[in-house]
Amino acid sequence: MTDLFSPIALRDLTLRNRTVVAPMCQYSAIDGFANDWHFAHLSRFAIGGFGLVIFEATGVVAEGRISYGDLGLWKDEQIAPLARIVDFIHSQGAAAGIQLAHAGRKASTPVSWRKPEDLATEEQRRAAGYEHWQPVAPSAESNNPDDPTFQVPTALDKAGIKHVIDGFVAATRRAEKAGFDTVEIHAAHGYLLNQFLSPLANHRTDEYGGSLENRMRLVLEVTEAVRAAWPAQKPLLVRLSVSDNAQGGWTVEDSIVLARELKARGVDAIDCSSGGFAQGRISASAGYQVPFASAVKKGADIPTMAVGLLGDVESANDILAKGDADFIALARGALNDPNWPVHAQRQLGSKDYSLWPVQARRVSEHDRVLGLQAS
């Protein structure tokens, strides 16, 4: 029976269990460089027993960051700080992935917790690593004209599209040098590749716009280029917004078509999320995106990752047992409990404490004394 603690192999990578930390932007980098915050934030999940820890959306080019506080992999100097974190994650028995991203028209947005008065002086801006730049997109249309956070982007020309593809390739090669086990192409949440996919954002009239085939073109070109640059023995993931959750937008059926094409180009699993455009609305509740993972898994015959308020252990285990997804990914749930896997294992009745780091296995005595161990 498939459950949370069944190992799973993707190409030559075997994960110790099906629990995944989904990418979570920390908006805490300067000039794209990982620092001690990123080390502490990500390392605790490996200590807590997760099978795969995926680093936050990482800009493949400087102008592809969501904000000036995002991680980046657009230059070689950014490799070493990431490699330090990867090495520690490996030392704890977990695998490390990185989400490669371009924000498109949602780039150069503010860091939410910084107020204008926090960036009033040149010294404050320098200390925060503040930058501001002109975003690019498939079409010269704001993500939300009613929100001054978003700028009107410049529409990408052919040279700009090539620059994006080249950026993904170069970042992929740097990810390999940093020791990552997998990379995830970010084509969700209203960012650049999702913008090309969606009729809500893509109003081009060339070969990158119009028909479904044309709107998929850039995602498939990026995928082919990344797969060629990424070692054949290592898996490649893609995150999709399976539905825009908006009338006239990208649909589940479109995602199934795309997932089949991605599989044919060497993608090994689809990370299934949704939404990202101002027009889209969906009511969030526990497990609300699981049907997306199930539809893509069954429609495209490809492993999928479910994400979205999946912290209930029994329900998460049941998703896998029913075959609706192959991985359970947590974001806010992992922030709330970085030890979620080891706690989940105990809740499911295991007496095995080997998933705990050796330095922390005395927890077993704590649990025995308090009667928390399964009988």
Kindly report, residue by residue over 121-180, the tens digit of the pLDDT.
999 999 999 999 999 999 999 999 999 999 999 999 999 999 999 999 999 999 999 999
pLDDT at position 109, please?
A: 97
Does some domain include residue 237?
A: yes
Average pLDDT (192-209) is: 98
45 lies in a domain? Answer: yes
Positions of E strands within the chain: 8-10, 13-15, 19-21, 52-59, 71-72, 95-101, 136-137, 154-155, 182-187, 236-241, 269-273, 304-307, 327-330
Residue numbers of the domain that contains 360: 347-375
**10 bridge partner residues:** 13
Residue 3 lies in a domain: no
Provide mean pLDDT across the span 3-18: 97
Residues 273 and 371 in one domain: no
The residues that bridge with 236 in the sheet, in sequence order, are 183
Let me know if 191 is a catalytic residue: yes
Using the predicted structure, report yes or no on whether residue 374 has a pLDDT greater than 80: no
Q: Contact, 287 vs 309, CB < 8 A? A: yes
Q: Are residues 35 and 62 in the same domain?
A: yes
Is residue 1 in a domain? Answer: no
Q: Do residue 319 and residue 375 come from a single domain?
A: no
Domain membership flag for residue 161: yes
The chain-wide mean pLDDT, for the chain, equals 96
In this structure, the answer to whether residues 22 and 127 fall within a common structural domain is yes
Domain membership flag for residue 115: yes
Looking at the structure, do residues 73 and 114 belong to the same domain, yes or no? yes
pLDDT at 266 > cutoff 90: yes
Mean pLDDT of 77-90: 98
Strands 154-155 and 19-21 turn out to be unpaired
Q: What is the pLDDT of residue 371?
A: 84
In the chain, the percentage of residues whose pLDDT exceeds 90 is: 95
Residues 304 and 351 in one domain: no
pLDDT at 284 (0 to 100): 93
238: pLDDT strictly greater than 70: yes
DSSP state of 152: P
Question: For residue 2, what pLDDT is reported?
Answer: 65
Q: Looking at residues 18-44, what average pLDDT do you find?
A: 98
Rounded to an integer, the average pLDDT of 238-256 is: 97
Q: Which of 121, 265, 104, 261 lies closest to 189, judged by CA?
A: 104
* CA separation for the pair 104, 117 (Å, rounded): 27
Asked whether residue 134 falls in the same domain as residue 188, the answer is yes
Are 327 and 303 within one domain? yes
**What CATH number should be reported for the domain holding residue 15?**
3.20.20.70
Whether residue 351 sits in one domain with residue 319: no
User: Which one has a higher pLDDT value, 351 or 292?
Assistant: 292
Same domain, 60 and 159: yes
How many domains are there within the chain? 2
Q: Is residue 144 domain-resident?
A: yes
Same domain flag for 147 and 229: yes
- Considering the candidates 27, 68, 130, 191, report the single residue annotated as catalytic: 191
What percent of the chain has pLDDT above 70? 99
Position 33 scores a pLDDT of 98
Residue 2 lies in a domain: no
As a whole number, mean pLDDT of residues 246-267 equals: 98
Q: Inform me whether the pLDDT recorded for 373 exceeds 80.
A: no
